[in-house]
Structure 1
């Protein structure tokens, strides 16, 4: 089967066969696996074991008080997801559609769509609806939470009869720690609209995940605001975070606008750029979280040269803002034994201090070398002011750590980035992928 750009596959089963399977199940209580896709067969078997009612016309709902309490608990997720949901709804245009945000238990937290879909006679399940497999069987909101990846349910593949008019597709949303925080889903009347929105749905989910990561970063930053001498580092952190956030969301908006006017190839290219920005956000936010943290870890082998290069990349935008050039000078491969959290903060403060000493038009030369006679690794930030501004040459700022000898570089990586790894069901054909 042809592979979809985001790792899913084109579906090959027939809605008619699913309709036959549903009619046979309702009349006999038996599931005919020959009429269903393998992932859908598994979903129906789970629904049968859980006691879901296939003849249900609509979903059950939480009480108003319980729903209000849940919304209050999940407000951060709802706020993070709202801009992406608005863009997804706009990309659907005049098609009948709904965009859902669900919690980890498949309760509908937030909902957008066209007027008829939300309030007409064939309206979609409303806020507070229970859309888990236990209650509704296979759905585009509940089943992705079970499989852990992207899942699409087309028409009569839905387990309960009330959902046969919809095509639903969803993907879990993961928080800064990689745990499932919720699920993003679209429901449409025409399957071809679902295919059109699929790339945007996946990109939107990743954008929300990046937003959650940035929000966690902001909480980390607030924890260290009382620490003396961190004011400049905190400002740089915030500005970098805001730039990344706006870049990601604007790329997503541009892609949605192009898709709305049927420029799908161009929209897909824009989506890829937005997705790359999201990956950059994930990486940079994890590094910034380390720099913003007051925690201390264990001393271990660290690649000092790589750490300095990583930091230089993070400070490029700040250097441009100050009109200072960052120049990588001698970059001798050096491994040291250090607490990576403490060492990272020391390097950050030295780099920011050097930038402040230079002034517009100057440069900061960054060298990493092994001081063999002292058995230390040394990173040096040399301020080089512009000639017209140089009165007294600033002294270089250095950070040193005990060097490791040959064969001791057991762990040369700087940071492990768990959230950059593919979540279950992404990057390959997932259970229920189409």
Structure 2
């Protein structure tokens, strides 16, 4: 007969505010048999004396300490405590990255999201969840749409007031907020109010914030698709205008997890709307003018993508050392010697490059690159209706020449050059 497999070296146990009595018998057994118990002080305090293993609180910062702490207790039975479901914004992810997927044995507990949706009567699958643990409140802005329901994982007692302030600033003051504290425990409590007149004092640091999004009358409407109103951006005229921007994002074709280089950032609109396409999209924008670089940062905060990386410097020099992009947009400086070459060389096979220009000199350059590498060369022309005396006529904006190409292996053509 085959023997039972050995117990895993690392077990991750989810525990809620209801403490020891709320976890399963299997989780209780794992904790009693552990030689080392690792967790936050609050979590470790929930364990009874029957859990006799050495108690080790996580140091700060936590993430860099994970490999060293596991190595220090190698060969011993380790139990790591986590809040709720360890694989939902929890320590389970960090442990899986260090040990390999499936190596830690995970015993989950209902997450705070499950508890909150049960209390609110919200279907979990229709509720968007965001975390502000270790993240700025500005990250919420991209998720604000009328009628949407958000659950915000709080960083502490002060987070509800920060969320209310952001909602007011972004034109969502009428939104209803509910703060759910100590979910699952005997101390569970709920308070509520409206963002525009939120004045409740800080409560328990262990809380989740439910937001019913309602936009204020007259507030600017920001869609989830590319082509935000030009008024959404602070700019000095260096802005890819709305209709061209929408066409440019369509050509760039952002997909979850991809990285964009936005070269010649201007006001940052292309990089910002690339990141708004999906919360896992990443972008680096390169802008040589320091004042514009600061403006890009402000726009990124206002439009909900505070993780946008802004590099102040001139390309191609400022491109050195940047992570490999999935796509590159060049919105300025095309005629700078070596710029297109540097962007092209940085792209892996299958990567996309999109370049826009309004000048004849840059258009001639794009025509040459199109001849050599194929792709698609188009001219975008937009006209707006404007008053002409007592009538209405068309005012033509400067046409934009756009080259779009995917980088193929050397033996494969990316299109038929003309």
User: Is the shorter-chain TM-score for this pair beyond 0.5, marking a shared fold?
Assistant: no
Which structure shows the higher helix fraction? 1
Q: TM bucket by the smaller chain?
A: under 0.3
Where relative contact order (Cα < 8 A, 6+ residues apart) is larger, the structure is 1
Which structure shows the higher strand fraction? 2
Q: State the TM-score, normalizing by the size of structure 1.
A: 0.24
Q: State the TM-score, normalizing by the size of structure 2.
A: 0.25
